[in-house]
Amino acid sequence: MDARSFSLLLLTSIQCLPCISGLDFLSPGSSLSVEHSSDVLYSPDGTFTCGFYQVSPNSSVFSIWFSNSSEKTVVWSANPLHPVYTWGSKLMLNSDGSMVLSDHSGQIVWTNNVRSSAAHQARLLDSGNLVVKGKGGSILWESFASPTDTLLPRQSINATMKLVSANRALVPGHYSFHFDDQYLVSLFDDEKDLSFIYWPNPSRTIWEKLRTPFNSSTSGALDTLGHFLASDNATFTAADWGPGILRRLTLDSDGNLRLYSLDKVQRTWSVTWMAFPQLCKVRGLCGRNGICVYTPVPACVCAPGYQVVDPSDRSKGCSPKFNITCDAQKVRFVELPNTDFLGYDLGAHRFVSLRTCKNICLSDCNCVGFAYWRGYGDCYPKSTLLGGVTLINLGSTGTMYIKIPKGIQVSMSSIPHSQPLGPKYRANCSAANRYFIAHFTDERKTGQNESKYVYLYGFSSAIFLAELIFVVLGWFILRREGRQLRGVWPAEVGYEMITNHFRRYTYTELVTSTRRFQDELGRGTSGIVYKGVLKDKREVAVKKLADVNQGEEEFQHELNVIGRIYHMHLVRVWGFCSDDPHRILVSEFVENGSLDKMLFGGGSSHVLLEWKQRFSIALGVAKGLAYLHHECSEWVIHCDMKPENILLDENLEPKIADFGLAKLLNRGGSNMSVSRIRGTRGYLAPEWVSSLPITAKVDVYSFGVVLLELLKGARVSDLDKNEDEEVEMVLKRMVRMLMEMLELDVSEQSFLADFVDTRLNGHFNNLQARTMMKLAISCLQEDRSRRPTMENVVQMLASVDE
Ligand SMILES: *[C@@H]1O[C@H](CO)[C@@H](O)[C@H](O)[C@H]1NC(C)=O
Ligand SMILES: *[C@@H]1O[C@H](CO)[C@@H](O)[C@H](O)[C@H]1NC(C)=O
Ligand SMILES: *[C@@H]1O[C@H](CO)[C@@H](O)[C@H](O)[C@H]1NC(C)=O
Ligand SMILES: *[C@@H]1O[C@H](CO)[C@@H](O)[C@H](O)[C@H]1NC(C)=O
Ligand SMILES: *[C@@H]1O[C@H](CO)[C@@H](O)[C@H](O)[C@H]1NC(C)=O
Ligand SMILES: *[C@@H]1O[C@H](CO)[C@@H](O)[C@H](O)[C@H]1NC(C)=O
Ligand SMILES: *[C@@H]1O[C@H](CO)[C@@H](O)[C@H](O)[C@H]1NC(C)=O
């Protein structure tokens, strides 16, 4: 017996411990009753459980769920629309193979509609399929044939099946996943009087969709490795593609189709693929007359003059507070900048003036508003306001004009803006389900009930969605039980296949890949970085951590946190090595080195960073930090932001390095007992030397310094040649001076031009430079409560992005 099958055996015997209290199968004539918690069926390997799932204190639904996820994750349910009373109800298997679910009164709520001569038993298979077997092993009925909102590996979907989104109480929603009339597997939104396909993108041609229409075999399935393929060539692959992982493909209640993997240790789900990385693009997410805004977390607001239909379910949209009249004299338009509604155009007009466009809409009673693209003169009158979205990037949408009666007052705050002080949001991490909750400050005047709209969305890994332009490839932790970790891992256990994801490396492997640590890329406070090439030819940066004063366990825990962080503006960490005494990080190799070399390079670097690049670096770094600070499950404070830790890729896009090391290296972070100041002189916030606790605002401060350096093209600490003066004093004085200049200088032109890097020869964007300077000043406030948060910074910068 080799090591692998032994550990399998071990696992199986542990898993079957719960089986003792449950049943392996149901024979004809027997039943499962709702009162006894032991009245459940287990799959042979213990992965799935089938029984009554309580949706509220009084009601239960007969369901199948994953036994081992921290929260019960239901994959199938029989009677979601007709829950049974949590007393007296039972599920019975009759000898003719019919399964009958009856309520306490004996009323039949659900049946599998089987009429056969003889049934042998009902059994839950390892795949999660509940089957009724006849004599001789024939399958009379299976739950896989009538999926609810989830498709499991090896379960196929065909033309007669569909997945329907469901909320936490398992109540079906209005999104569905099935084949359309061209035999393309699609996502549908079926609302009361509207129905449309929103994935694949309906505005694309069939060629752009990369699909094959009219293949009558109409089938699709997810395999156990994490690859989905359908007969129309619809295909996608999990980011953690490989064997041995429990997966599910679920159409979530927010209309996004997501592929999840179960982390066996933490027993939580992580997303490894999703149809919409940008949730606001799910049409109908905010319902009719609703507008999806990024705050930066996606959230719903109502168009001005409209009110929420159901505060507990924002996807039901908004209804008008007025009766629109057809009389053109009595209506006016409210302007919504950077906003667009999808589809439902009454027409398309080109090269017309705004006034003409207004008149077109005024003269048509069906027109509820219009989109206008200044500069192009494009005019799209709309019959329905659906799929509204307000984007931050200027130029990606037109301006929306909404028709409302003249008497209606619209407050500025009800116009969905991407302003820094716009809707506030905070992550609610206390709930086990980790929802994000967005609070909106609009319409405060209209009584308490409406003043706070709470919009719940997303699932446990909604952390992702906090970013606007971030493309998901997935993240996950590959972590096995401790006993497996310590040995020779992972090659022998068959995980070699997943090498392009987070994993553990042996010291010998890294010695080979770095050719005995020959090619040094740089050294900093946290350690020395070497270049390496992995077996699969990937170039990596290998950092030998100096000074890790934490044990093996904590080290692995921290690495698990770092390993699951994935964002385009953060350096991707591929893995680690923890063979005593070595503590090594393996991360993505970033072509163009660090920002300091490029920006202050002097003689060695011949590249001058142009204005555009500097601005996009500032924006990118801000996005990366905002992501770190607001990732829900763990706050990651960088604690050492400086140009040395900003790497530039081949397109000179920034990637932040060295994040998440604060705790590892005892730099402080959330840990208040900082014995020693880490970080770097010149970038340190004042609270490091006072006794105040360290919060994310220390990064905001350091970012302010980086902003000034991007503007100036020189180190702030080098600006003042006065030898004796402390760098902190220099900064303080500079901030005061800049503040005064900004206030005084009306034209701002001359003073800005004096400050900005002279090597640019005045080639810079005035508005962007001014915004960066203002931001830098507010980031460098002594009082940390007056510094903006990183997402405020992102919004501010994005608002002047071109
Ligand atoms: C379920 O979790 C327990 C510990 O939480 C573990 O021992 C067992 O192996 C797990 N079973 C499966 C099927 O993963
Ligand atoms: C649910 O149960 C509670 C207490 O057990 C009871 O007060 C309530 O009336 C029940 N609701 C329904 C709909 O039966
Ligand atoms: C779809 O699958 C179900 C169950 O496997 C089967 O009964 C049904 O006939 C299939 N439909 C088509 C169109 O193949
Ligand atoms: C099928 O999908 C793959 C990948 O998405 C694509 O490269 C290929 O061109 C598609 N084939 C057809 C016939 O559209
Ligand atoms: C139709 O789909 C099946 C797989 O379901 C595939 O084998 C076949 O090649 C497809 N036919 C065409 C014409 O693409
Ligand atoms: C709209 O008109 C209906 C009847 O035509 C009336 O009952 C309702 O109160 C009006 N609503 C508003 C907001 O004026
Ligand atoms: C977070 O969510 C929990 C449970 O949903 C709730 O009790 C708590 O009040 C929320 N906290 C905040 C700060 O909103």
Nearest CA to ligand 1 atom 1: 68
Residue 708, domain member (yes or no): yes
Centre of ligand 4 from the C-alpha of residue 209, in Å = 9
Domains of the chain: total: 4
The closest-lying atom of ligand 3 relative to the alpha carbon of residue 158 is 1
Q: Are residues 232 and 358 in the same domain?
A: no
Q: Indicate which residue of 103, 640, 658, 757 is catalytic.
A: 640
**Among the three residues 145, 176, 210, which one is the final residue of a domain in this structure?**
145
Distance 306 CA to ligand 6 centre (A): 14
Q: Which residue's alpha carbon is nearest to atom 13 within ligand 7?
A: 428
Residue 409 lies in a domain: yes
Output the CA–CA distances (angstroms, integers) from residue 777 to 233, 394, 618, 706, 772, in the order listed. 53, 25, 14, 11, 9
Ligand with the closest atom to the CA of 264: 1
Which residues make Cβ contacts (< 8 Å) with residue 652, sequence separation at least 6? Answer: 592, 598, 609, 613, 616, 617
CA–CA–CA angle 645, 650, 653 (5° rounding): 55
Residue that the structure tokens 């024939």 belong to: 138
Q: Does residue 235 line the site of ligand 5, with CB under 6 A?
A: no
- In this structure, the residue with its CA closest to atom 1 of ligand 3 is 158
Residues contributing to the annotated binding site:
544
From 453, 366, 165, select the one nearest 285 (Cα to Cα). 165
Torsion angle of C-alpha atoms 32, 33, 39, 43, degrees rounded to 10: 40
Q: Whose CA is nearest to atom 9 of ligand 1?
A: 15
Ligand 4 near 210 CB (within 6 A): yes
Task: Return the residue whose CA atom lies nearest to atom 11 of ligand 2.
Answer: 58
Domain enclosing residue 408, as ranges: 280-437
607: confidence class by pLDDT, cuts 50, 70, 90 = confident
**pLDDT value at residue 722:** 63
**Of all protein residues, whose CA lies closest to atom 5 belonging to ligand 3?**
145
Q: DSSP for 559-585, please give it.
A: HHHHHT---TTBPPEEEEE--TT--EE
- Secondary structure class of 800 (helix, strand, coil): coil
Distance 299 CA to ligand 7 centre (A): 17
DSSP states of 646-711: EEE-TT--EEE-STTHHHHTT--TT-----S--S-TTS--GGGTSSPPP-THHHHHHHHHHHHHHH
Within a domain: residue 388? yes
Q: Is 103 a catalytic residue?
A: no
CA nearest ligand 5 atom 12, residue: 215
Question: Is residue 701 in some structural domain?
Answer: yes
- Among all bound ligands, the one having the nearest atom to the CA of 232 is 5
Distance, CA of 411 to CA of 403 (rounded, Å): 15
Q: Which ligand is nearest to the CA of 407?
A: 6
Mutating to test ligand 7, I would choose from 71, 425, 430 the residue with most ligand atoms within 8 A of its C-beta, which is 430
Q: Is the CB of 212 under 6 A from ligand 4?
A: yes
Ligand 5 atom nearest 212 alpha carbon: 14
Residue 163 lies inside a defined structural domain of this protein:
yes
**Using CA positions, which residue lies closest to atom 5 of ligand 5?**
231
Instruction: Tell me which amino acid residue 511 is.
Output: V
Gap from CA of 593 to ligand 4 centroid (Å): 36
Atom of ligand 6 nearest to the CA of 323: 1
Name which residue leads in pLDDT, 227 or 561. Answer: 227
Give the CATH number for residue 112: 2.90.10.10
Instruction: State residue 446's pLDDT score.
Output: 25
Going from the Cα of 161 to the center of ligand 3, the distance in angstroms, rounded, reads: 8
Residue 347 or 40, more confident = 40
- To which residue do tokens 């068959």 refer? 494
Q: Are 268 and 130 contained in the same domain? A: no
Residue 526: inside a domain: no
> Is it the case that residue 149 has pLDDT exceeding 90?
yes
Q: How far apart are CA 678 and CA 548, in angstroms?
A: 13
Judgement on whether residues 245 and 294 belong to the same structural domain of the protein:
no
DSSP line for 53-69: EEEETTEEEEEEEESSS
Q: Are residues 678 and 739 in the same domain?
A: yes
Please tell me the residue having the least CA distance from ligand 6 atom 12: 322
Can you give the pTM of this predicted structure? 0.55
Centroid of ligand 7 to alpha carbon of 71 (angstroms): 17
Q: Which of 257, 275, 293 is the last residue of a domain?
A: 275
The average confidence (pLDDT) of the chain is: 78
Mean pLDDT of 6-20: 40
**Bridge partner residues of 121 (DSSP):** 133
* Residue 438 reports pLDDT greater than 60: no
Residues of the chain with pLDDT > 90, as a percent, come to 33
Ligand nearest to the CA of 85: 2
Which mutation among 306, 318, 322, 323 tests ligand 6's pocket best, with the greatest number of atoms within 8 A of CB?
Answer: 323
Q: Under a CB-based contact definition with an 8 Å cutoff, are residues 589 and 531 in contact?
A: yes
Q: How far is the CA of 212 from the centre of ligand 5 (A)?
A: 9
Q: Of 241, 275, 309, which residue sits at a domain end?
A: 275
Ligand 7 pocket test target in 297, 312, 424, 428 with most atoms within 8 Å of CB:
428
Q: Give the HSE-up count for residue 244: Cα atoms under 13 Å, Cβ half-sphere.
A: 15
Q: Helices 790-799 and 697-712 sit at what angle, rounded to 10 degrees? A: 30
Q: Which atom of ligand 5 is nearest to the CA of 218?
A: 5
Indicate if the pLDDT at residue 449 is higher than 90: no
| Predicted local confidence at residue 668, as pLDDT | 39
Answer yes or no: do 337 and 429 share one domain.
yes
CA of residue 473 to ligand 4 center, whole Å: 19
Instruction: Tell me how far apart the alpha carbons of residues 738 and 410 are, in angstroms, rounded to a whole number.
Output: 37
| Residues 287 and 232 both lie in one domain | no
In CATH, what number is assigned to the domain containing residue 603?
Answer: 1.10.510.10
- Mean pLDDT check: name the lowest of 43-47, 184-188, 740-744: 740-744
> From residue 534, how far is each of 368, 513, 537, 572, 594 by CA, in Å?
59, 5, 5, 15, 22
Same domain, 136 and 155: no
- Please spell the DSSP secondary structure of 363-397, one letter per residue: T-TT--EEEEETTTTEEEEESS--SEEE-SSTTSS
Ligand that lies nearest to the alpha carbon of residue 54, given by its number in the listed order: 2
What's the pLDDT band for 575 if we cut at 50, 70, 90? confident
> Of ligand 7's atoms, which has the minimum distance to the CA of residue 430?
1
For residue 447, tell me if it sits in a domain: no
Say if residue 347 is in the same domain as residue 228: no
Confidence of residue 635 (pLDDT cuts 50, 70, 90): low
Return the amino acid letter for 428: N
Alpha-carbon Rg for the chain in angstroms: 29
State if residue 117 touches ligand 4 by the CB under 6 angstroms criterion.
Answer: no
Q: What is the pLDDT of residues 608-634, one digit of tens each?
A: 899 999 999 999 999 889 888 865 334
Cβ distance 485 to 264 under 8 Å?
no
CA of 231 to the centre of ligand 3 (A): 14
Q: Residue 610 has what pLDDT?
A: 92
Min mean pLDDT across 158-167, 505-514, 678-687 is at 678-687
Which residue minimizes the CA distance to atom 10 of ligand 7? 428
Buried/exposed code over 139-177 (b: 16+ C-beta within 10 A; e: otherwise): ebbbbbeebbbbbbbebebbbebbbbbbbeebebbbbbb
Q: Of residues 85 and 397, which shows the higher confidence score?
A: 85
Q: Which residues of 759-789 are buried (b: 16+ CB within 10 A; e: fewer)?
A: ebeeebbeebbbbbbebbbbbbbeebeebbb
**386 and 430 both lie in a single domain:** yes
Are 169 and 103 in a shared domain?
no
What spacing in Å lies between the alpha carbon of 63 and ligand 1's midpoint? 20
pLDDT of 258 reads: 92
Ligand 4 pocket mutation, candidates 207, 210, 227, criterion most atoms within 8 A of CB: 210
Residue 401 clears pLDDT 50, i.e. is over it: yes
Residue having the nearest C-alpha atom to atom 13 of ligand 5: 215
The reported pLDDT for the residue numbered 787 is 93
Distance 145 CA to ligand 3 centre (A): 7
Q: Quote the tokens at residue 630.
A: 């607001």
In a domain, 624, yes or no: yes
630 Cα to the center of ligand 7, angstroms: 17
Q: What is the pLDDT of residues 750-787, one digit of tens each?
A: 778 888 988 898 899 988 998 999 999 999 998 888 99
- Using a 6 Å cutoff on CB, does residue 81 contact ligand 4? no
Residue numbers in the known binding site for ATP are 544
Q: Is the CB of residue 414 less than 8 Å from the CB of residue 310?
A: no
Lowest-confidence pick of 118-122, 239-243, 406-410: 406-410
640 and 656 inside one domain: yes
Decide: 596 and 648 in contact? Cβ < 8 Å.
no
Looking at residue 349, the DSSP 8-state letter turns out to be: B
- 220 pLDDT above the threshold of 90: yes
Ligand nearest to the CA of 245: 1
Q: Which atom of ligand 6 is nearest to the CA of 321?
A: 13
pLDDT score for 500: 36
Q: What is the mean pLDDT of residues 138-164?
A: 95
439 CB under 6 A from ligand 7?
no
| Structure confidence at residue 14 as a pLDDT band (50, 70, 90) | very low
Q: Is 233 in the pocket of ligand 4 (CB under 6 A)?
A: yes
| Closest approach atom of ligand 2 to CA 85 | 14
To test the pocket of ligand 4, the residue of 208, 233, 236 to mutate (highest count of ligand atoms within 8 Å of its CB) is: 233
Judging by DSSP bridges, how do beta strands 584-588 and 573-577 pair with one another? antiparallel
C-beta separation of 529 from 522 below 8 A: yes
Query: 792 phi and psi, to 5 degrees?
Result: -60, -45
pLDDT digits (tens, 9 = 90+) for 592-605: 889 998 888 765 56
Distance CA 462, CA 470 (A): 13
Residue closest by Cα to atom 10 of ligand 2: 58
Which residues sit with their C-beta closer than 6 Å to ligand 1? 11, 14-15, 45-47, 68, 264
Cβ–ligand 7 distance for 431 under 6 Å, the answer yes
**Residue 83 burial by Cβ neighbours in a 10 Å radius (0-12, 13-18, 19+):** buried
Among all bound ligands, the one having the nearest atom to the CA of 209 is: 4
Instruction: List ligand 3's pocket residues with C-beta within 6 A.
Output: 145, 158-161
Residues present in the chain in total: 802
**172 and 70 both lie in a single domain:** no
In testing the pocket of ligand 2, which one of 58, 85, 105 has its CB within 8 Å of the most ligand atoms? Answer: 58
